[in-house]
Amino acid sequence: MGIFEIDLCQEALIGSFTKEIKPLLTVNSGDTLRFQTLDAGWGTGISNREREKPFKRRANIDSGHALIGPIYINHAKPGMTLEIQLNDMIPGPYGYTSAGQYPNWQNEKLKLTEYNEITLDWKLDKITMSGSCEWNGRTFSVALRPFMGVIGMPPEEKGIFSTWPPRLCGGNLDCKDLIKGSSLFLPIPIEGGYLAIGDGHALQGDGEVSGQAIECPMELIDVTLYLREDIQLTTPRANTPSGWITFGFHEDLNDASVQAIDGMLTLMNELYGLTRVEAMAFGSAVIDLKITQIVNGVKGVQACLPHGALR
């Protein structure tokens, strides 16, 4: 089991999911990766106002979030599950959150226009895990809860795939519960996986209502990868410090909810030996449905089973 340190350089960055290029790195199950990330918009620096974009973006392959990858995992095959164990996540010194800049159904109904577009500049303190922002003569502060917004692999079809939507093989999940100490489980769609990770968030509320969290570079991401042949999945799930999560993705929130519940019923059968009807009955008392995000075209819903809720 090795530890791979990945330098933040042009060759380490990709703005899409694809198996059409040479992998950045080849690793084995049980190996650990340690790396830095740019912010989602390919920026870095000491503050949002002083951020630089030092790396070039290729026209056909780098239109999305700044990701590290792709990572090829030896012996990874469709039908297996990839466990991404999130060991540590340390945010960089700045973050930003914008509102009003994306013309969509939400902004139209909320009467947000380009004339009142704003960007909040956040100072992030990795020691106290707090963030502060000055706005209109006042200082606002928050407790940070860093996580990665985009973790995933390309689907089985050939091509170059956008980083913006969530998919069954991962992607722009924007799940605020995937904090340090969590494990994300993804069904492997292609041989080798071609995993990519990026889009640092210092803090986000459920829904990511403006379209952005506190977007930030990450000073350190530390993950360990495991191939799991004992778990067969068709949709993602996660084991977080607070509980188990199953995910649903669809343009319609009702359909996304059904997909998330379906995954949780399967998980409860594995954990407790319950039939689907039994799991639904018990689950109605202990499962929480949460909106992960509503801003990426394909919406996300989580079914959450807190640890210890059903004993």
Q: What is the pLDDT of residue 104?
A: 63
Among 231, 307, 228, 292, residue whose Cα is nearest residue 260:
292
Domain boundaries, the chain: 3-97+142-156+193-225, 242-306
The mean pLDDT of 225-251, rounded to a whole number, is 97
Cα-based angle 228, 306, 83 (whole degrees, multiple of 5): 15
Both tokens of 92, joined, read 């960089």
- Judged against a pLDDT cut of 90, whether residue 196 lies above it is answered with yes
Share of the chain above pLDDT 70, in %: 96
Arithmetic mean of pLDDT over the chain: 95
The mean pLDDT of 152-173, rounded to a whole number, is 96
Q: How confident is the model at residue 99 (pLDDT cuts 50, 70, 90)?
A: confident
Residue 71 CA to residue 74 CA, distance in Å, equals 10
Residue 140 CA to residue 130 CA, distance in Å, equals 11
Q: How confident is the model at residue 29 (pLDDT cuts 50, 70, 90)?
A: very high
Q: How is domain 242-306 classified at the architecture level of CATH?
A: Roll (3.10)
Among 289, 287, 278, residue whose Cα is nearest residue 306:
287
Range of lowest pLDDT (58-62, 199-203, 243-247): 58-62
CATH topology of domain 3-97+142-156+193-225: Jelly Rolls (2.60.120)
Q: What is the pLDDT of residue 245?
A: 98
Cis peptide before 93 (omega within 30 of 0): no
Q: What is the pLDDT of residue 297?
A: 87
Q: What is the pLDDT of residues 64-77, one digit of tens each?
A: 999 999 999 999 99
Q: What is the pLDDT of residues 264-311, one digit of tens each?
A: 999 999 999 999 999 999 999 999 999 999 988 899 999 999 999 999
The mean pLDDT of 47-53, rounded to a whole number, is 91
C-alpha separations of 106 from 36, 97, 166, 302 in Å: 33, 17, 19, 21
Q: What is the pLDDT of residue 262?
A: 98
Q: What is the pLDDT of residue 200?
A: 98
Cα maximum dimension of the chain: 58
Whether the pTM exceeds 0.75: the reply is yes
Residue 3 CA to residue 304 CA, distance in Å, equals 32
Q: How confident is the model at residue 111 (pLDDT cuts 50, 70, 90)?
A: confident
* 3-class secondary structure, 175: coil
Q: What is the pLDDT of residue 102?
A: 59
Among 76, 66, 97, 96, residue whose Cα is nearest residue 31:
76
The mean pLDDT of 11-16, rounded to a whole number, is 98
Q: What share of the chain is helix, strand, coil (3-state, %, to 5)?
A: 15, 40, 45
Residue 236 CA to residue 251 CA, distance in Å, equals 17
